Structure 1
Amino acid sequence: MSFASLTFLYFFLPAVLAGYYVLPHRWRNGFLLLANLVFYAWGEPSFLIVILATTVINFYAAKRMQKNPDYKKTWAILAILFDLALLIIFKYAGFLLDTLRPIAFWTDLPHIEISLPLGISFYTFQVLSYIIDVYRGEVHSQDSLVRFSTYMTLFPQLIAGPIVRYRDLADQLGVRQQNLDRFAGGIRLLLVGLAKKVLIANQMGALWETFKAFPTEIGVLGAWVGAAAFTLQIYFDFSGYSDMARGLGKLFAFELPINFDYPYISKSITEFWRRWHISLGTWFRDYVYFTLGGSRCSTIKTVRNLLVVWALTGLWHGASWNFVLWGLYYFALLVLEKLWLGAWLRKAPGCIAHCYTMICVTFGWVLFAFDQFDELGQYIACMFSGNKLLGTHALTLVLSYLPLMTIAVIAALPIGKRIFDRFRTGRSAAVVECLSGGAVILLCTAALVAQSYNPFLYFRF
């Protein structure tokens, strides 16, 4: 079930909120757990057993680690192996067999297609952080299976993040005190995220799909405009979902971490990855990069550590070689910045550093978008060596989408929030907020009724 759906907005969410606040505090976690499971089962009922098995096994493994320090390492290894085994089987088994088949001439490897459980990459990383933190003694294991299950299946962030560590929610899993400001802030974030997703991301996605389908006819400029459209789509799609997740969390008195911090204002790739998908970047930093030694070692080992992190980051996004290529692309850029380019960027004029970053990021999203290398090669060739500057049909599309693209660019920058906040100050603030909120609801509802194109890009991870 998508947050940007009429079923969720007009039926599921109101019913869950009503039930949650009617019940006394001691029953709320149990009710929320039930709602979480219904939400998950709505899309993939057969995979409930996977997330429930992950939850129960890791819950008891952490308790055994806490009770028997002498066997703590054994229990941690067993739990981690179980979690990774599930992730590898469901997400990477087919990819591994397809990769090995051309070179495994001595045997006939089968071709298998396994459906991917929704959100498995997200909740696997969450539970891995829990096991590792308990092993390190940084958190105590949770004593209540209901509370731990609520954490593992919390529907606002279950499907597409942010990746919430147990330590960030541990104190919130008991009795949560709600207040009007937090609830109102939750509604505001939910509507902002919904507008990002439905009114901007979907429109940019439709433009991108049109350009993507006819790369040889759009010209060089058209190919770059198409790539820019996807750059805007993936930001508003994913950050919109994260805003909705945080807003929904607030409605149930949870404070979820910020996952995006205006990444498209960055002046280096290093800065970009401090602002983009923050929960994933900090996860790899804390549990992989620092574990390998981080940058507190020789240059060669630092480069090795970055290679491991970015190869894994690419694979985390999907079982396809284009994601590996995408990860290695960012590895190369980050190594260059760490060795010498970063020092030059810090001295360069801000506009030049920003242009460099956005060109690199936009090209990177093209690598991300195509899982077939022949299609990727064709589109890249059009970006750099097309036989015309801009196709006639592409020009028509660019002109028709130009106002929305302009709004999208402004909304992706801090200035967009400052403009909106200026209208929310003074005596008319409440009126402006109510009117704008009502307008968003009406526009999004109309768009959801009319649109057939309504993907969530990060659902597949």
Structure 2
Amino acid sequence: MIPDSPLFLYYFLPLTLVLFYLAPVGARCGVLLAASGIYYYLADAAGLPVLAAATLGNFALGRLIGRSSGAARGRWTGLGVAANIGLLAWFKYGAVAAPLGISFFTFGAVSYLVDVRRGLLAPEGSLTRFAGAVAFFPKITAGPIARFGPVLPTLGRPGPGWADFREGAWRFAVGLAKKTLVAGALAPVADAAFGSESGLDMATAWLGLVCYTAQIYYDFSGYTDMAVGLGRMFGVPLPENFAHPYIARSVREFWRRWHMSLSSWFRDYLYIPLGGGRCAAWRVQANLLLVFALCGVWHGATLNFLVWGLWHGVFLSLERTRFGGWLDRQPGIVRHGYLLLAVMLGWVLFRATDFGVSARYFQALFSFSLDGFDYTWMAVVTRQRLAVLVVAVVFAMPLGGVWTGFCGLFGQGGAAVAAGGRLAALAGLLAASAMAVAAGGYAPFIYARF
């Protein structure tokens, strides 16, 4: 079961919402925990014992860290961090299938143990509430990486109001539309380009790369929009994970906007403890390269992911040199073009199945050959997909101010126009997404495999 499947949308989610809102406030955490267990069982039954063991182990370790002092406190924390990272490495990089969402729930557990060690968070005394925070089904598949500080208090007695439900439903509908209507429509073009075995011409390679650049953003941000929306509907706050990353004008800014829960995790639990930007210039560069090498490895054990992480680490290091100062003085269009080129070329490493495929794809991008593009245009590109690509480009930009300004033209009736427009958009997005789901054109979220 995945969050855009008919089983989830038409049966699991409505039943969970009904049971949640009918239950007494004090029993709602139990409802969410039971729903999360059922969700995980339906999505990955083989991984459920691993999730349960990790939950029990981290709950016990948090209690031990809270009761200890001095060196013992540090030793228990070190043991817990090593156990979580070891668990992740064993399943993700060994010869066994990785449990669903292991990268996300282990990183969440590490942040919990370290925060308890630092005195930023009290050790959780309720196993039900702790397990609910670990396994909360909206985020378990592909994040965001939710820290326990904001989540645990609300899970005790979740009490969302009508405004929470309304805003959460809107956010969920937007995320579902991103996944089914945009990412789903562009995926065949990207798949055809990256899956070609007969060689690519330059135009087809660039078209496939542009489509993948849009696909991965709308796929991943769509999932996290759905997760954040569901969290709000259940009264559980989840962190934002995207802030229009493709409008960035530097790689530094891109990582402040892309997968923000992961980049902030690496910043707070690795980069700053290593010295961050407060040490010698060469150490800063080394820290950045190490952090992004690990960021790449977090996504997978292949050489492609390592090189992808180092690719971003090199650009971040360069932007801390005179090159960064030069870049800041350039016109916005130059800086934006630099960012898009750097990120898009990096996506080749991320998407290709191995280093040989990525090397051939880079060669095609700069081959200056157009042989075969006519066939691509006839067989793969449709008017619908071209229209979706245009929509993807437009809505990658922040347009909230445009809508607010439009509603303001109606004066005192602007609020009614805004409410009516959102209601109509909500109904339209849900209906269109439902048709896409019914057509069977959906696929697992890209980040579900991480």
Q: TM-score, normalised by structure 1?
A: 0.92
Instruction: Indicate conservation of the 8 Å contact 2:28/2:158, yes or no.
Output: no
CA contact (8 A) 1:222 1:389 kept: no
- Tell me the CA shift for residue 84 of structure 1: 1.5
Alignment of 1:41-440 (within 5 A): 41-70=41-70, 71-93=72-94, 113-214=95-196, 218-388=200-370, 391-396=373-378, 397-398=380-381, 400=383, 401-415=385-399, 417-421=400-404, 425-440=414-429
Partner Cα separation in structure 2 for residue 16 and residue 191 of structure 1: 17
> Match for residue 103 of structure 1?
none
CA contact (8 A) 1:198 1:447 kept: yes
Identity between Structure 1 and Structure 2 (%): 38
Secondary structure of 1:284's aligned partner: helix
The alpha-carbon deviation at position 215 of structure 1 amounts to 6.7
Distance in 2 between residues matched to 1:422 and 1:119, nearest whole Å = 40
2:206–2:365 Cα contact (<8 Å) kept: yes
Question: Which stretch shows the higher mean deviation, 423-432 or 444-453?
Answer: 423-432
- Report the Cα offset of residue 332 of structure 1: 0.9
Unaligned runs of 5+ in 1: 94-112
Query: Residues 74 and 117 of structure 2 are in contact (CA less than 8 Å); yes or no, is this contact kept in structure 1?
Result: yes
Whether the 8 Å contact between 2:182 and 2:218 is mirrored in structure 1 is yes
Mapped to 2, the partners of 1:446 and 1:341 lie a distance apart of 49
TM-superposed CA distance for 1:418, in Å, is 4.0
Deviation per CA, 1:159-187: give whole Å up to 9, x if none.
11110011122332222332111110000
Residues 206 and 453 in structure 1, CA contact (< 8 A), matched pair in contact too: no
Return closer, same or farther for 1:7/1:422 CA change in 2, 3 Å cut-off. farther
Return the alpha-carbon distance in structure 2 between the equivalents of residues 223 and 179 of structure 1: 49
Gaps of 5+ in 2: 408-413
Amino acid at match of 1:414: P
CA distance in 1, matches of 2:16, 2:125: 26
Letter in 1 for 2:444: P
Q: In 1, Cα distance between the equivalents of 2:241 and 2:55?
A: 24
Deviations 1:377-417 (A, max 9, x none): 111111011432771023344563322111110011113x4
Deviations 1:291-344 (A, max 9, x none): 110111111111111121011000001121100010011111111111122211
Q: Tell me, yes or no, if the aligned pair for 2:129 and 2:152 is still in contact at 8 Å.
A: no
Is contact 1:218–1:393 with CA below 8 Å preserved after alignment?
no
**Which residue is equivalent to 1:6?**
6
The alpha carbon displacement at 1:132 in A equals: 0.5
Equivalenced residue count is 441
Q: Is the 8 A contact 1:310 1:330 kept in 2?
A: yes
Distance in 1 (alpha carbons) for counterparts of 2:233 and 2:442: 28
Deviation at 1:455, TM superposition (A): 2.6
Of residues 263-272 and 54-63 in structure 1, the stretch that sits farther from structure 2 once superposed is 54-63
Q: How much does 1:443 deviate? A: 1.0
Note if contact 2:65-2:117 (Cα within 8 Å) is conserved in structure 1. Answer: yes
- Give the Cα separation in 2 of the matches to 1:287 and 1:384: 39
